[in-house]
Structure formats: structure tokens, C-alpha cells
Amino acid sequence: MVKVLLVDDDSELTAMLSEYLAQESFDVHAVHTGEEGVTAALGGDYAIVVLDVMLPRQSGIETLRRIRQNSAIPVLMLTARGDNIDRIVGLDLGADDYVPKPCTPGELVARLRAILRRVSSPAPDFLPSATVQVGHLTLCPASRTALWRGAPLELTGIEFSLLEVLARSAGHLVSKQDLSLRALGRPLAPFDRRIDVHISSIRQKLGARDDGRPWIQSVRGQGYQLVSA
């Protein structure tokens, strides 16, 4: 059974979600504070974390930040419906996806399975055993690890998937819609900024080229391309 860490201070909601997820073959452990969430996420053998943004004392955003300092475990955020600021900040800090509350258990299960599929297997048109080498970048899809200038490059699951798509098309423009379909396995919804936020995070991790421009260049309203040299 897939082990899920659920971090939410609403005890009735966690009980309901835990019962439903158990019926869907998930092994759920629930905690109710951000501090407990950080400890459990870093110390337990969990496959994924479901993290509420609105937590007492230590917010879900701060909890995510502390988890990301030491772990790339997939994190699905629960956010208030319509609160775009929390979603953008969460994605910028390395959340893999979000579900607005109130959500149906069925939608939560679907999002969890989509994330787990994404981080556990490459896209079907990729060769999982082939190492991708582009300039200073080396990607190992089988282990989902990355090297940049010979040093480990820490990426979230979505960041790795996006960078892999761009690396395999290095030097060529990849549309946002194509990026979403190939890396995330779903079409890009109107006004959805998730791709932009994740690309911004990858850019920061790669740093700037000698001429000061980013390694991932953009064409406004169209897409992105990874510079190969």
C-alpha cells in the first residue's frame, strides 16, 4: 500500500479522507500541525504528503519550505478555493500540485495517483534507461536524478519532468501546452501559471549563463526552450 502523510488540523476532514483513501489502497497517517508534518515527512517512509495551507502556528507554506530544505518528497497542497497567492507561493517553493478546498475525495485520489505516476515513471515516448546529456546538464530518468556542472541538482518531481522534456528538445521551442501534456500528463488550463512558476524555480537553480541570460529562454505566450550551449 502507498503510504500517505496527511497534514491538516481539521480532524473530521482527516478522518473522512483517511477512511476514503484506505478504501483506495492508500495507507494514511494523519498529523494536525505543521511541526508534526515536517518531522513525519522527513522521518517516515512516505510516498507523498497532502498538506493543508491553513495550519495553526506554523502555516502550510512554512511547513512546505522546511520539508523542501531536506527532501524532494512529492507534496500536494490543499488550498482555499480562489486563493491564487497561496497556490503560486506553494508551487514556487516546490509543491507538486494543489487541490482547492472543499474537494471531493475522488478528485484528491486522482491527483495523488497522477503525481505518483509522474514521479515513478517517465513519459511513454522516453527511453527510461537512456541518460540525457545537454551541455552541463545530465539527467538520469531511471533514477530521476540530475547533475549540473557535475554536482547534484535538487529538483522536485515536476521540475525534473519539465526539465527532461526541455532537455530532450534542447535548442527548440516547446509550447506550454506540449510541456503540460508531456511532463504533467494533462492539458494546460486557461490562466494556469503552474508551468511558469516551476520554470522560474528551475532557472534559479541553474543560474545565469555567462552573458547573464537564463539557460531556459522563453517566448512570451508561446513556450520555453533550453539553451544547449
Give 53-80 pLDDT, tens digit per residue. Answer: 989 889 999 999 999 888 888 999 998 7
This prediction's pTM: 0.61
pLDDT value of residue 105: 86
Using H for helix, E for strand and C for coil, what is the string for the chain?
CEEEEEECCCHHHHHHHHHHHHHCCEEEEEECCHHHHHHHHHHCCCCEEEEECCCCCCCHHHHHHHHHCCCCCCEEEEEECCCHHHHHHHHHHCCCEEEEECCCHHHHHHHHHHHHHHHHCCCCCCCCCCCEEECCEEEECCCCEEEECCEECCCCHHHHHHHHHHHHCCCCCEEHHHHHHHHHCCCCCCCCCHHHHHHHHHHHHHCECCCCCECEEEECCCEEEECCC
pLDDT at 42: 92
- What is the pLDDT of the chain when averaged over all its residues? 86
Residue-wise pLDDT tens digits, 161-174: 899 999 999 989 99
Which domains occur in the chain, in start order? Answer: 2-120 (3.40.50.2300), 132-226 (1.10.10.10)
At 229, the pLDDT band (50, 70, 90 cuts) reads: low
- Given a cut of 60, whether residue 215 has pLDDT beyond it is yes
